[in-house]
Amino acid sequence: MCGIVGYIGSKNAYSILIKGLHRLEYRGYDSAGIALINSQNNLNIYKAKGRVSDLEEFSQGKDISGTIGIAHTRWATHGEPSHINAHPHYSQSENLALIHNGIIENYAILKESLKQKGYIFQSETDTEVLVQLIEYIKTINNTDISTAVQLALKQVIGAYSIAVIEKENPDLIIAARKSSPLVVGIGENEFFLASDASPIIEYTNKVIYLDDEEIAVIHRNEPLRIVNLNNVEKTPQITQLELSLNELEKGGYSHFMLKEIFEQPRTLRDCMSGRVNVDSNNVVLSGIIDNKEKFINARRIIILACGTSWHAGLIGEYLFEEFCRIPVEVEYSSEFRYRHPVINPDDVIIAISQSGETADTLAAIELAKQAGAFVYGICNVVGSSIPRNTDSGSYTHVGPEIGVASTKAFTAQVAVLVMMALNIAREKKTISEEQFLSVLSELSKIPSKIETILQQNNYIEDLSKIFTYAHNFIYLGRGYSYPVAIEGALKLKEISYIHAEGYPAAEMKHGPIALIDNEMPVVVIATNSTTYDKTISNIQEIKARNGRILAIVNKSDYKVKEMADYTIEIPDTEECLSPLLSIVPLQLLSYHIAVKKGRDVDMPRNLAKSVTVE
């Protein structure tokens, strides 16, 4: 969701900024823009609705010189996607240019007061209000840009990461953040700025993650300064990036999503590495061991997440209740944060997020912390806001997930939840040794079992042709397969734009069964489980109404294979681990249907990879 890139140094800024914008495309956006100061101190802004490639086309033949610049991909919040609303925005004098991620909540009041002072606005954005405010404060206080930014941000309510450049000051970028990520890269006599590390990694692996209400004063040829809104100097904490450039490229696959689906055997091995040890029959997560008492004595676990991460959380509920005997509630962060939830100091909160930047989850965490609860994060992006705002946690270690539809992050989130449940259950003595060892041994086999599922890619691609023209889908599952059903449905709707709903299979007869006819594909996850026979009854109910059934079944299955119109086989495993396998064919099915429909699989319309506004 919105992307920021900045550069100051001795190289041509334009090409670095455009490349950086391409790297951030995965976040989701609808327009793009760039501001450059050339050697004659002209501040040029170019913007275009659409893709970064449209911006490149628009900039052709124009003056794109300059060794300082800022660039932006916008995901519309205030005002439609358009050339005018795209960032950067000029201040009234055209002396300043600003880019912004986030939402200025009190922009309307600020705008009204600036209008009364004679400021004229070109766009409908909250961002233009901020740049005008900075200019106004700078003028009336006769102060420098850094102080003006500090004073302006003190008046702002909301979330922001910003970068500002000033025509009269071509050696300086001012950047600041609150509840929206911003990273400064430190090169040899040059600095980079970005919403995440992906545009920076090919130039330097030394970065500084800004904290809330910190301002980076980035001066050409001077050491970086970090100050807070009261101008108190802070010591920059340099972090070494462990990202590699290969991880940001498609590596021969036609889409990032396909690459990421195929990466899952490796990402799950990475995720379990050093944590699962079959030889010593152990699973150890340092975050759990360090906080053993909190988990053992937890009155309740509350899992907070959004979207796919919320679906992983539902699997967590089944795991913690089955193995640890701790009551669990799984909450949408967006609902939790606004409904006066009862939070006890002996509740353990688990926040799950791939990006680690989801605004609703961050706010929900804050609420839980204020109530004195212990907060544990399960995140993928190292150094992101959620790991920095939680008491402890576990990374999923799957590397950058670029495809907007989450795949490898989901399986790793589930794997972390399995490891947590096993680790806590053993400490709490709520799991038998036999069951512990059986799940542990099966868990270690999951990556190679996924490899056998991936071998069916061509078969699943062929199957997808049958379903490409469907307008609706239903996904059904029970127990551990219910979250898989809703995750499978989400994958399909996100990238193919086909309407799909997931239900617990037994809920069918309470309403959705009215939708079944011979045009309704029903995907049933009918793998071995304690409710297998019940699922068979649900399949019969659908058959009786001429629904077309695609079933995900185990290799050893013979009953469902006879009833379903189409089947995809997955290897047998422990019931609690079945989501790690059954989701894979559903990811592939959605992918192939979306490709056949000609959809932009990696950047589906209206979606953002990291939802940094509420």
Supply the minimum distance, in Å, between the C-beta of residue 55 and ligand F6R. 25
Report, in Å, the least distance between residue 374 CB and ligand F6R: 20
Cis peptide before 521 (omega within 30 of 0): no
68 binds ligand F6R, rule: CB under 6 A:
no
CB of 496 or CB of 610, closer to ligand F6R: 610
* Residue 454 near residue 585, CB atoms below 8 Å: no
309 forms part of the interface with ligand F6R (CB under 6 A): yes
Q: Which amino acid is at 371?
A: A
Minimal distance, residue 99 CB to ligand F6R, in Å: 22
Strand partners, 104: 158
Interface with ligand F6R, residue 384, by CB under 6 A: no
**Distances from the Cα of 404 to the Cαs of 23, 250, 264, 362, 387, in angstroms?**
13, 14, 16, 20, 21
| Cβ-proximal residue to ligand F6R, closest one | 307
Does the protein bind ligand F6R through residue 613 (CB under 6 A)? Answer: no
Contact 244, 211 (CB under 8 A): no
Q: Which residues of 307-338 are buried (b: 16+ CB within 10 A; e: fewer)?
A: bbbbbbbbbbbbbbebbbebebebbbbbebbe
The answer to whether residue 355 forms part of the interface with ligand F6R (CB under 6 A) is: yes
Q: Does 494 bind ligand F6R (CB under 6 A)?
A: yes
Residue 361 binds ligand F6R (CB under 6 A): yes
Contact (CB, 8 A) for 488 and 475: yes
Among 85, 161, 353, 464, binds ligand F6R (CB under 6 A): 353
Q: Is 354 in the site for ligand F6R (CB under 6 A)?
A: yes
Could you tell me which stretch among 58-66, 105-113, 212-220, 354-362 binds ligand F6R (CB under 6 A)?
Answer: 354-362
Task: Out of 73, 308, 334, 389, name the contact with ligand F6R by CB under 6 A.
Answer: 308
The burial class, CB within 10 Å (0-12 / 13-18 / 19+), for 122 is exposed
Nearest distance from residue 350's CB to ligand F6R, in Å? Answer: 13
- Output 402 or 508, the one with its CB closest to ligand F6R: 402
Q: Does residue 576 carry a catalytic annotation? A: no
Task: Report whether 567 contacts 459 (CB < 8 A).
Answer: no
Minimal distance, residue 585 CB to ligand F6R, in Å: 16
Please tell me the count of residues contacting ligand F6R according to CB under 6 A.
Answer: 15
| 324 is an active site residue | no
Q: Could you say which of 111, 138, 408, 609 is catalytic?
A: 609
| 271, 610, 612, 613: residue in contact with ligand F6R (rule CB under 6 A) | 610
**Toward ligand F6R, which CB reaches closer, 14 or 310?**
310
CB of 488 to ligand F6R, least distance (A): 11
In the list 307, 383, 399, 502, the residue contacting ligand F6R (rule: CB under 6 A) is: 307
Compare residues 334 and 529 and give the one whose CB is closer to ligand F6R: 334
Yes or no: say if 578 and 527 are a contact pair by the CB < 8 Å rule: yes
For the CB of residue 390, give the shortest distance to ligand F6R in the complex, in Å.
Answer: 13
Which helix (H) or strand (E) covers residue 291, if one does?
A: none
| Longest distance between any two alpha carbons in the chain, whole Å | 81
Helix (H, G, I), strand (E, B) or coil at 180: coil
CA separation for the pair 86, 75 (Å, rounded):
9
405 near ligand F6R, judged by CB under 6 A = yes
Q: Which residue has the tokens 């995900």?
A: 552
Residue type, 97: A
- Are the beta carbons of 20 and 71 closer than 8 angstroms? yes
Of 165, 136, 138, 146, the C-alpha closest to 41 is: 165
Tokens of 129: 């209000």
Residue number, 150 or 333, with CB nearest to ligand F6R? 333
Q: How far is the CB of 333 from ligand F6R (least distance, A)?
A: 8
C-beta of 101 vs 610, nearer to ligand F6R: 610
Q: Are 415 and 446 in contact (CB under 8 A)?
A: yes
Q: Which residues of the shown chain bind ligand F6R in the complex (CB under 6 A)?
A: 306-309, 353-355, 358, 361, 405-406, 490, 494, 610-611
Kindly list the catalytic residues: 2, 609
